[in-house]
Structure 1
Amino acid sequence: MTTPAGPRTREQREPDGAPVVRYESPIPIRPATLGDAIAAEWTKIRSVRSTIWTLGVMIVLMLTIGVGAALLVAAADTDLAGEPVVGLGFFGVLLGSICVITLGVLTIGSEYSTGMVRTTLTACPSRGRVLTAKAIVFFLLSFAITTVTATAVAGLQTLILDGAPASGGVWVRATAGVGLYVAALGLVSLGLGAIVRHSAGAITTMIALVLLPLVLALFMFAESLRDLQRFLIEYSIPNQLGALYGSTVTESGPAGWEPLGLMLGLAAVALGGAWLALDRRDV
């Protein structure tokens, strides 16, 4: 009777003659790739409760506020004067973006608060690969959820209200464009979370970045501050987000797809700073 073969071993001898048995794995060994890091980050982000809560609340806010605004306008029998009704989705997206900001910070900030980042970087010593995998997984997830929800809201608003039909360009900006913009804003928060390494501090800073410029501009009454006031209003995140819907506070400033280009550039700067922080600082 033949004995089943076990793990392959190689017998050697120590100087004193004692045998040394070394284990040789039958499983082929290959270097880790970016795909492996992406799979690991996807497992993390879909298995934590913060993802369900933040994105769930964002979906509820966008649907409730977007559809609620359309119902209020319909009940008041307001004349939309030929304006596309999809612009009413702006209010829900603005509040929902706070949820994406929170998730972006927690995607990396929570690992520093729990010490999990040590395990992550032990499994994947390439810090640039870890950051890239986190950014890809987070961006695609937040883009998909935001775009689908924004499309559903725009469709429901169109059914509820009898406004002017949105053109193809406005419709794409109000759905896919908004999804890309909010996801890029989330990448800024992810990069800031890697730099600050403190979830509460990074979330507070991001909320201030979203709301503070517009709030400050509203209280600039001096004539000498008019140019600064106009700049803060035009380039504030709420105004840029409104530009994607074709509705801005001022006649000048970013319009069309320009806000998306600005936010993607800001996201690249934030992720570049995050890469430098990860590469040059200890965990």
Structure 2
Amino acid sequence: MSTPQPPMPQAAPDRRAAPGQPGQPYGGYTSPIPVVRTHLLHAVASEWTKIRSVRSTMWTLGVFVVLVIGIGLLTGAVVSGSSVSAEGTNPLELGFFGLLLGSMCVITLGVLTTASEYGTGMIRTTMTACPSRGRVLAAKGLVFFLLSFVVTLVCATLVAVVHVALLEGSGAVHPTGQDWFKATVGVSLYVALLGLLSLAVGSILRHSAGAITLMIGAVLAPLVIALFMFSESLQDVQEALFEYSIPNQLSIFYANSLTESGPSGWDPLWIVAGVTAVVFGGAFALLEKRDV
């Protein structure tokens, strides 16, 4: 008699549910969080959160406000209380001194906006969250430009209003509408673009101290070098350094150029805009090629 064979094992029924059929064992999972296609505004929101939450922003902009308003009001008080007549003086010119020193703070913040992330290694997290490197740099530039422009505009306008009030009735020139526009909106655009140029340099060098030193040297070195060019053979070079130095270009917005030739009107704004565009393009290209 043959030995009975044990029954063959039966395969267990496949009880996995198709995706989208909840309530079944091993059913497909659908996340309740909606999937949103990211765009530039998401990167802008992220960069805005970062720039307003770090201490460097509060310190640099705080010192900027103190310098621009403090030196501006001090200059106005000295001129209004001086025995020397202010006749023929444009009150808006007095805002130049504070803004020249304050621009160093904007330059510093521009560099730190990009270069500091390379120093701390935070840039890796940033690029992981947003793999589109160009979008990250564009968002940083947009947030920084708008922030620096608004802060500069508020400070420059406040100082201008106070100066006009202090020199009222002292024989000072009454500023025209164009004078007001250049000494507030125009100079604010120039300072913001100068800071944006610093941001691009910080992205290229990836070193905060080096980029800040380079930018401050670019602001002050041409004027200082020109002051020590006594040779007649270098007169043309000296004149060019005076004309295209950043302090002189900044003074043009106050109708108080340090030279009688060279850029005038809105030329300084177009010059710094062109240089910033070229350097920013280089920063974009290098960001795409180099490792983070």
Q: Does the 8 Å CA contact 2:86/2:167 hold for their aligned counterparts?
A: no
Match of 2:30 in 1: 24
Deviation, 1:78, is 2.3
Post-superposition, which runs of at least 4 consecutive aligned residues in structure 1 deviate over 4 A?
19-22
Q: How does 1:1-283 map to 2 (within 5 A)?
A: 11=17, 23-162=29-168, 163-283=172-292
Quote the Cα distance in structure 2 between the aligned partners of 1:127 and 1:77: 58
**CA displacement at 1:20 relative to structure 2:** 5.9
Q: Which residue of 1 aligns with 2:21?
A: none
Partner secondary structure for residue 31 of structure 1: coil
The question of whether the paired residues in 1 share the 8 Å contact of 2:80 and 2:86 is answered with no
SS of equivalent residue, structure 2 residue 84: coil
Give the RMSD, CA atoms, in angstroms: 1.3
| Contact 2:200/2:283 (8 A) holds in 1 | yes
Letter in 2 for 1:128: G
Structure 2: 5+ residue runs without aligned partners? 1-15, 19-24
- Per the normalisation by structure 1, the TM-score is 0.92
Letter in 1 for 2:96: F
8 Å Cα contact 2:250-2:268 kept in structure 1: yes
Q: 1:11 to 1:110 in 2, by over 3 A?
A: farther
Once residues 194 and 207 of structure 1 are traced to their aligned partners in structure 2, the CA distance between those partners, rounded to angstroms, is 16
Unaligned 5+ residue runs, structure 1? 1-9, 13-18
Distance 1:100 1:20 in 2: 57
Greater Cα offset, 247-256 or 19-28 = 19-28
Secondary structure in structure 2 of the residue aligned to 1:23 = coil
1:22 Cα deviation (Å)? 5.1
Please, which moves more after superposition, 23-32 or 46-55?
Answer: 23-32
Matches of 1:65 and 1:246, distance apart in 2: 19
Q: TM-score with structure 2 length normalisation?
A: 0.89
Distance 1:61 1:23 in 2: 58
**For residues 289 and 26 of structure 2, what CA distance do their matches in structure 1 show?**
41
Instruction: Give the secondary-structure state (helix, strand or coil) at the position aligned to 1:27.
Output: coil
Aligned residue pairs total 268
Given that residues 194 and 276 in structure 2 are in contact (C-alpha distance below 8 angstroms), is that contact kept between their aligned partners in structure 1? yes
